[in-house]
Amino acid sequence: MIKRSVSFYSYQESYYTGRKSLEELMEYTGKTLGADGIEILAEQTPVGSFPNPSDADVDMWKGWLDKYGVTPACMDSFIDWMLYKNSILTLKEQVMQMERDLKLASRLGFPVIRVLCPVRKEVMEASIPIAEHYGVKMGIEVHSPMTFTARWITEYLEMMDRSGSKYVGIVPDFGIFQVRPAKKRIENALRSGARQEMVDLLCELTEAHTPFAELTSRMTAAGANAAEIGLANSFARTVYSEPKVLRDIAKYIVHCHGKFYDMDENCCESCIEYEEPLRVLHEIGYDGFISSEYEGQSLFGVDEFCDELEQVRRHQEMLKHLIGR
């Protein structure tokens, strides 16, 4: 059975502005939303101090997990290979950063860490014995515009096969199933002078998975104005993958990111497909977590309030409906 979790990336504004603390967000996620799991960016909403919380901090964290009825699902890791101005960290130094995060994840009870897509496969490969030691899996995030057939990823998969380790895998991000601009982004464009018929044309093209270069040339040829081109440009780093691709990589999936931008009042995502990808995940017997990962904050203007908590609630409702629990 697929389990529901929430990435606290979704709550970035609530935490940044001081409106909600880590504990309050855990309470909301566990008690109000009834999610099974939580995902944090260890360097965004740290438990105690990153990367070495005290034992008392870890005990407090575990107390919150119990109290609010949530399980650690995934911890997002960053490897800062540009740590110093004049040099790039060596392979060994990057593996030390991976070890730092694997150790922290293990202390906090996370079974998986999300590894950023641009991290070199050599870093993950060299970290396998450490991951096995700590009992924490490493999942490389496949995030649009990356695809599973890109060489960067096929080489990763070859490395995983060669290693034979269960501690390496993939975290697909549902942004790869985006089919049109978010409703909120379209509304913003319409307010800035985009015309409805041109927005319709753009959506027709994106729904047909038109490559970006062709998308912009077709829009320009149709006489698109600045607001319409701006809307088209929001697809510059969006490359669609067919949901069935999840079947091909089934054995590698260690966690899923349910990226979303705009949930409407009926708890429908306005731009990313969920039904079919979740059906495929169900068919392949995926029994890990999918995290709600809200990224619509930047679609709100300076005087508009972005209700992250409500957006996440709607997304969890949708997942509940589609997963069946």
Question: Which residues of this protein are in contact with another protein, per CB under 8 A?
Answer: 9, 12-13, 15-18, 41, 43-46, 49-50, 78-85, 116-119, 297-298, 300-302
Angle between helical axes of 212-221 and 196-207 (0-180°, round to 10): 150
CA geometry: angle 302, 303, 304, nearest 5 deg: 95
Burial class (CB in 10 A: 0-12, 13-18, 19+), 87: exposed
- CB atoms under 10 Å from CB of 200, counted, come to 10
Cα separation of the two ends of the chain: 9
- Among residues 9 and 134, whose Cβ is nearest to another protein? 9
CB of 273 to another protein, least distance (A): 25
| Structural element, H or E, at residue 37 | strand 37-41
Sequence length of the chain is 325
Closest by CA to 124, choosing from 153, 145, 151, is: 153
CB of 50 to another protein, least distance (A): 7
Cα separation, 48 vs 180, whole angstroms: 40
Which residues fall within 8 angstroms of residue 37, CB to CB, at 6 or more apart?
3, 4, 5, 6, 70, 71, 72, 73, 74, 289, 291
DSSP state of 267: S
- Among residues 211 and 301, whose Cβ is nearest to another protein? 301
- Among residues 22 and 319, whose Cβ is nearest to another protein? 22
Question: Six-digit token pair at 116?
Answer: 């950023």
The answer to whether 240 and 174 have CB atoms below 8 angstroms apart is no
The answer to whether 289 and 256 have CB atoms below 8 angstroms apart is yes
- CB atoms under 10 Å from CB of 101, counted, come to 27
CB of 46 to another protein, least distance (A): 7
- Among residues 82 and 213, whose Cβ is nearest to another protein? 82
CB of 45 to another protein, least distance (A): 7
CB of 280 to another protein, least distance (A): 28
- Among residues 78 and 280, whose Cβ is nearest to another protein? 78
- Among residues 86 and 266, whose Cβ is nearest to another protein? 86
CB of 204 to another protein, least distance (A): 29
- Among residues 231 and 246, whose Cβ is nearest to another protein? 231
- Among residues 258 and 288, whose Cβ is nearest to another protein? 258
CB of 75 to another protein, least distance (A): 12
The answer to whether 80 and 97 have CB atoms below 8 angstroms apart is yes
CB of 13 to another protein, least distance (A): 5
